[in-house]
Amino acid sequence: MEMSDPVLVVRTLAGDDRAFEELVRRHHSKLRGFLRRLTGDAFIADDLAQESFAEAYDNLEKFGGRSSFSTWLLGIGYNQFRHHRRKRREARMPDNLPEPADENADPGLRGTEADVRAAVAGLGEDARAAVELCYGHGLSHEEAAEVLHWPLGTLKSRLAQAKEKLKISLAAYADNNGKGENGHGKR
């Protein structure tokens, strides 16, 4: 029988390092994927994920179980991302662009996926994080608001604004790719 995340947290706090290794195994892909989409850089995402797990381990006693472990961990990851961005701004280093679509993806979807990634990357930092959490990771509005430390109304407002911006951006990409309003090529 598989242990739940709260049980693994308790076992880790009792000194069972294998329990924490299991938490890392369960949540690494989700956290890394979230950070990769926020940073646009796999290496930075890996570093931030590692820092996030280290911080989670160091502060595990603060996990109160009010949210899922995954939500708590994504919040730590988002804070690591914001700290990283702040350091880059202070050093006046340029941000990386999002990575191109997977070359092995279905050729019919490759352009659309790239357009969506580019449109999401064009959002502001906070809007991009909200979109990734709600639509990329399937978190509820309440969970995403908790990760981002925002009131629920703020999250909903920023998502609505982001959707409008994405709608405009994606319409522009469709027009630039010779597609009409119905999304099909010209005939």
> What domains appear along the chain, each with residue ranges and CATH number?
1-96 (1.10.1740.10), 105-187 (1.10.10.10)
pLDDT of amino acid 71: 95
What local confidence, expressed as pLDDT, does residue 107 receive?
52
- Among 151, 97, 88, 107, which residue's Cα sits nearest to residue 128? 97
**pLDDT value at residue 36:** 93
Q: How far is CA 108 from the centre of its chain?
A: 25
- d(CA 139, CA 153) in angstroms, rounded, equals 16
pLDDT at position 178 is: 58
Q: Which residues, given as ranges, of the chain have pLDDT below 70? A: 92-111, 177-187
pLDDT for the residue numbered 177: 65
The 10s digit of each residue's pLDDT in 83-118 is 998 888 877 655 544 444 444 444 555 567 778 888
Residue 78, judged by CB atoms within 10 A of its CB (0-12, 13-18, 19+), counts as buried
State the pLDDT at residue 145: 94
